[in-house]
Amino acid sequence: MDGLPADLELIDAHGTDALPRSAAGRAMMEAMRQVHEAVGHTAREPAVSPRFAAYGALADLWVAEEKAEGAVFEEGLLLAAKPGSAWQEEAAVHARKASELMAHTGAFGAAQCAGTGGGLPSLGLADTVCVLSKNAALAAYASAYIAHGVQAEGVKASYMQGKDRFLGAYEAVREVPVMEPDLIWEALSRGVRLASTLKSKGLLRACVLTLKGRGRLIGPIEGDRLLRFGVSQWR
């Protein structure tokens, strides 16, 4: 984690132009760069701060250090971030969801969730966006980016303010009001388009998106096997 606090200040000041010095900071920027390149984001200000890849980048560094010491990881890395006190109670639920996604895809890598149901906070409407990717930094940033994109016109969610050691000060959706089914599917479809683009570029292996009892799936996974996601209708 050496140098990361200074890098976070650089990222806040320079956005996509920041040049971090620490390994974690560089991994965060690389995760953002890959996602931005895939979706065609060219603005200097990122839609989602690269800070959202921090927990993943640190997890990747820890795994690399353990492997250098001779550790063997027979299963994929489960990343269960716990940003902010408001998310502490949901962290265990988030971890189980991420673990289930990994178990039923049969793939190795890193899993991370974002949304109102636990994991990383989001300005999107999704209960959960859970991503399986090749490394934890990319899984973290991709889940946050996709979750941010789960939106529908005219839906007035309630918001909260939070602050986290790595995420910094942030605003996030606290609660989503009752939504008509068509609006739910519209919001999920926006997230699916982002997830499908990232999958086509090889940046994620699977993705689950849920909102108000509905869910969408990307990748080699069947919805009826995902018992912990609380979804009654999958598409």
State the DSSP code for 224.
G
Q: What span, in angstroms and rounded, lies between the C-alpha atoms of 102 and 87?
A: 22
Classified as helix, coil or strand, 11 is helix
Higher pLDDT, 66 or 48: 48
Taking only the tens place, the pLDDT of each residue in 34-56 is 999 999 988 888 889 999 999 88
Q: What span, in angstroms and rounded, lies between the C-alpha atoms of 109 and 91?
A: 20
pTM of the model: 0.89
Residue 169, C-beta contacts closer than 8 angstroms, at least 6 positions apart: 161, 162, 163
Q: Are 198 and 146 in contact (CB under 8 A)?
A: yes
Using a pLDDT cut of 90, give the percent of the chain over it: 58
Q: Are 114 and 75 in contact (CB under 8 A)?
A: no
Residue 120 Cα distances to 2, 51, 128, 154, angstroms: 23, 11, 10, 24
Taking only the tens place, the pLDDT of each residue in 83-119 is 443 334 444 555 667 767 766 665 557 888 899 987 8
Domain ranges for the chain: 4-234
| Partners of 209 in the β-ladder | 129, 216
Taking only the tens place, the pLDDT of each residue in 211-228 is 999 999 998 887 877 777
DSSP string of 97-143, one letter each residue: HHHHHHHHHT--SEEEEESTTSSB--SS--SEEEEEESSHHHHHHHH
Residue 78 Cα distances to 121, 150, 181, 191, angstroms: 18, 24, 32, 22
Amino acid at 100: E
